[in-house]
Structure 1
Amino acid sequence: MTTVRVQEADFDISTEVAALRAQNPKVGAVACFVGTVRDLNEGSAVQTMELEHYPGMTEKSLEAIARQARERWPGSDVLIVHRVGQLKPLDQIVLVATTAMHRAEAFESCAFVMDYLKTQAPFWKKEKTEAGERWVDARESDESALKRWSQDE
């Protein structure tokens, strides 16, 4: 099962994971990642972060990432909830939860989905700081993390 949602509203981790687990009685492990807005980035205090996306295209991109994870780890389920709109420090941005029969596969599939989200998903982030607004570029470390998955093939 794959569930993908892009929304402005916050999410409840416990409720989301319970719903994911309820879909598959063979689940032996659940791995979760929650990304939040930091209060400091590149030496500047972040007041707000605006997340923009291209409706329709974004969801298709997230579904493709989840499908790739499910192909690599058969029997796994993937949940992606990504927020858009204006967020403040400490707000939740993204939830990725993956299930598998065993913990290693759950951890690996969760990391895979996050690495692809950070580099391949069509989201644009703009931070508001005391110095003004700026677009946030992808980090080199995110690109490096993505490379490990192509080496596995």
Structure 2
Amino acid sequence: MITGIGNAISAQVKLTNDANTYRLAIDKYKESLSIFPNFNALDNWGASLMNLSNLEGNSQLLDEAKCKIMEAKLINDKPSYNLACLYALHRDFSNCKKELYNCLKAGTLPEKNFIENDIDLVSIREEDWYKELLKKI
């Protein structure tokens, strides 16, 4: 339930682009994890930290985001689109490509339109392998 509240707040913040609303979502994910540990809350917490980092230009938040997303991946043991985005933000194109293709194989990629418009992936948009990936979706 609390994870759902965090998700609703995260969706709202994308419309307002307000750092305090991201912080509120992060607090809800933390609260959710204190009640029921789960990979969704960790992954969403990491994604919110990534978005907050983009908004504030704070690279330390990206490091914290990576910890949360990696922890979620260890629990879930599936490829992570959010981790691929994090790799793209760090300009680690090799790992980004690997994670995106693993997501494709696992069926965990978001819709093509979402991927094409994801600001986290701006750094890879001109890569040939990225264009090929989009053709396969």
Larger Rg: 1
From the two aligned structures, give the one with the greater helix fraction: 2
From the two aligned structures, give the one with the greater strand fraction: 1
TM-score interval (norm. to shorter): 0.3 to 0.5
